[in-house]
Amino acid sequence: MLLTISTTHRPATDLGFLLMKHPENVHSVDLPFGSATLFYPEAGEDRCTAAITLEVDPVALVRGKSSIEDQYVNDRPYAASSLLSVALGRLLNTAMGGRSKLRQELADTAIPLECSLTPLPARGSADLLARMFEPLGYSVEAEAIALDPAHPEWGASPYVSLDIKGTVRVQDLLTHLFVLIPVLDNSKHYYVGEDEVKKLLQKGGEWLEAHPEKELIVRRYLLGFRSLMRSATEQLEERVEAEEPEEHASRDAEEEKIEKPIRLNTQRMDYLADLIRNLGASSVLDLGCGEGRLLRHLLAIKGLDRIVGVEVAPRVLAKAGDRLKLDHMPDIKRKRIELMQGSLVYRDDRLKGFDVAALVEVIEHIDAERLPALEAALFGHARPANVIVTTPNSEYNVLFEGMEPGAMRHSDHRFEWSRSEFHHWSESVARAHGYEVRYEGIGSEDPTFGHPTQVAIFSRADAVREAA
């Protein structure tokens, strides 16, 4: 079994700082069932690769076990499995926790990473690997391994050689592998109890909460034990819903209080409704729809046949349904609108094929290191014909009465961009994903500080050419 992790981030040898393993040394750890070794077959400025091999002692693996079934020859010494997850946890525990003594800023940053793993059991449908890894922002290539090269008529085995590539943090890659390797294998070499629930929640972190295959991952990781699955699911839901709708609304009120004198939220909704109408859209995604303010305006637009609101927190989504009075809506109108739970930073096939996607005052609530994942999921994977992004213009904040210098409009904002910062981000996204972008503003424009809300309107280049 061989696992390699490579990067082209410069200097690539910083991978050693991230893994806390020096590239000039060979690192080994003894395990109850064998040993794991990490070494660097290449370590240069442009590319660096760390390789991990796992040697399993089949005698040690079954020593002390009374079951006759445990004595049979099996694939555990040769294929990636929960044994490898244990080895990763022992070898790379610090890196898996997202810590780096000398490169913490880099550890917190998404960098280009490639991972190869062979042989890997992938027990299930042909698209299982893509369903597991693509929503996390990876491109996936897998080559089936024949049962016996000398007898091609026997067909393929359930094992593959896997290659994945993505721009993620090292911590993310390691935790994805830690959880998904045994999920793909659909087996574990040790007793599964309540401790496995804690381990799944710890290593799953934020990414598992909104993964489209969350139910399958939980079921396989916990080997189908219903009590454990129920415990894990309840705790995941508690994490997502830690912020109650009332608290969410209270925090939003901070921003509304600042912006209320210029009726900025009303102006935003009116502007967006007019813009979407002028784009001639028949289908619209409201990403991060919250309690449904924009959705209410969209329902009033004739010609919009499909309106979908996406929100990560189920209770906030339920609040949107209540405010829109979906249960009492006439059937013709109700068929036009749908609410979905989902994350904006994971690839989701349900979000493909829309004329317009709107992110209204959303991106500033996302950690900066997560933005590349959002870009890949939205502009790279879902690829709506048009994307509308609105965000506060930080330069305008000096004109709001009562705002402290350097303060932000909302306590949950991770950042607020100046016009030049927003343009830089928008243009880099447009170039990377084949979009054209133009800029507008919402609210009265100040000659020095611009509009209070800045807007980027992305149009997919091929859609623009077709329209012309």
Pair (381, 266) in one structural domain: yes
Residues 6+ apart with CB under 8 A from 114: 4, 5, 6, 7, 163, 164, 165
pLDDT at 263: 77
Task: Give the containing element (helix H, strand E) for 387.
Answer: strand 386-392
- Is there a domain that residue 210 lies in? yes
Q: How far is CA 29 from CA 17, 456, 458, in A?
A: 18, 51, 50
Task: Of 373, 388, 370, give the one whose Cα is nearest residue 460.
Answer: 388
| Band (84; pLDDT cuts 50, 70, 90) | very high
**Least confidently predicted of 56-60, 97-101, 212-216, 412-416:** 56-60
What CATH code is carried by the domain that includes residue 348?
Answer: 3.40.50.150
Q: Is the pLDDT of residue 281 over 80?
A: yes
| Band (245; pLDDT cuts 50, 70, 90) | very low
pLDDT at 13: 96
Residue 123: both structure tokens together: 């027990």
Task: Render pLDDT for 40-49 as a digit per residue (tens, 0 to 9).
Answer: 999 999 999 9
| Average pLDDT over every residue of 2-10 | 95
Q: How far is CA 363 from CA 149, 257, 372, 416, in A?
A: 50, 20, 11, 9
pLDDT at 243: 46
Pair (168, 296) in one structural domain: no
Q: How far is CA 438 from CA 278, 361, 441, in A?
A: 15, 17, 11
Pair (50, 126) in one structural domain: yes
Pair (212, 276) in one structural domain: no
Q: How far is CA 248 from CA 72, 325, 389, 391, in A?
A: 56, 20, 21, 18
- Is there a domain that residue 454 lies in? yes
From 229, 262, 291, give the residue that closes a domain.
Answer: 229
For the chain, what is the radius of gyration of the CA atoms? 25
DSSP-derived letter for residue 421 is H
Question: pTM for the complete prediction?
Answer: 0.62
Task: Report the number of secondary-structure helices (H) and strands (E) in the chain.
Answer: 18, 14
DSSP-derived letter for residue 348 is -
- Is there a domain that residue 224 lies in? yes
Task: Render pLDDT for 424-467 as a digit per residue (tens, 0 to 9).
Answer: 999 999 999 999 999 999 999 999 999 999 999 999 988 766 66
From 229, 264, 287, give the residue that closes a domain.
Answer: 229
Structure-model confidence comparison of residues 248 and 47, the more confident one: 47
- Is there a domain that residue 236 lies in? no
Pair (225, 254) in one structural domain: no
What is the largest distance, in Å, between two alpha-carbon atoms of the chain? 82
Q: CB–CB of 368/393 below 8 Å?
A: no
Pair (283, 189) in one structural domain: no
Neighbour tally for 188: CB within 10 Å: 19
Strands 337-341 and 156-168: unpaired
Structure-model confidence comparison of residues 219 and 153, the more confident one: 219
pLDDT at 364: 93
Q: Is the pLDDT of residue 74 over 80?
A: no
Q: Look at the chain and report how many structural domains it folds into.
A: 2
Pair (87, 223) in one structural domain: yes
Q: How far is CA 278 from CA 36, 137, 282, in A?
A: 60, 32, 11
Pair (316, 463) in one structural domain: yes
- Is there a domain that residue 141 lies in? yes
Task: Render pLDDT for 364-420 as a digit per residue (tens, 0 to 9).
Answer: 988 888 898 899 999 999 999 999 999 999 999 999 888 888 889 888 889 999 999
Q: Is the pLDDT of residue 162 over 90?
A: yes
- Is there a domain that residue 450 lies in? yes
What span, in angstroms and rounded, lies between the C-alpha atoms of 26 and 324?
A: 61
What span, in angstroms and rounded, lies between the C-alpha atoms of 425 and 430?
A: 9
Share of the chain above pLDDT 70, in %: 90
Residue 407: both structure tokens together: 């303060």
- Is there a domain that residue 302 lies in? yes
Q: How far is CA 155 from CA 117, 145, 149, 262, 271, in A?
A: 21, 9, 9, 68, 59
**Least confidently predicted of 230-239, 287-296, 418-427:** 230-239
pLDDT at 259: 62
- Is there a domain that residue 242 lies in? no
Task: Render pLDDT for 326-369 as a digit per residue (tens, 0 to 9).
Answer: 988 899 899 999 999 888 888 888 999 999 999 999 999 888 88
Pair (14, 105) in one structural domain: yes
Pair (291, 171) in one structural domain: no
Range of the domain at 257: 250-467
From 171, 196, 229, give the residue that closes a domain.
Answer: 229
Q: CB–CB of 218/232 below 8 Å?
A: yes
| Average pLDDT over every residue of 309-316 | 85
What span, in angstroms and rounded, lies between the C-alpha atoms of 56 and 65?
A: 16
Pair (138, 179) in one structural domain: yes
pLDDT at 242: 47
pLDDT at 211: 85
What CATH code is carried by the domain that includes residue 98?
Answer: 3.30.1610.20
| Average pLDDT over every residue of 9-24 | 95
Pair (268, 177) in one structural domain: no
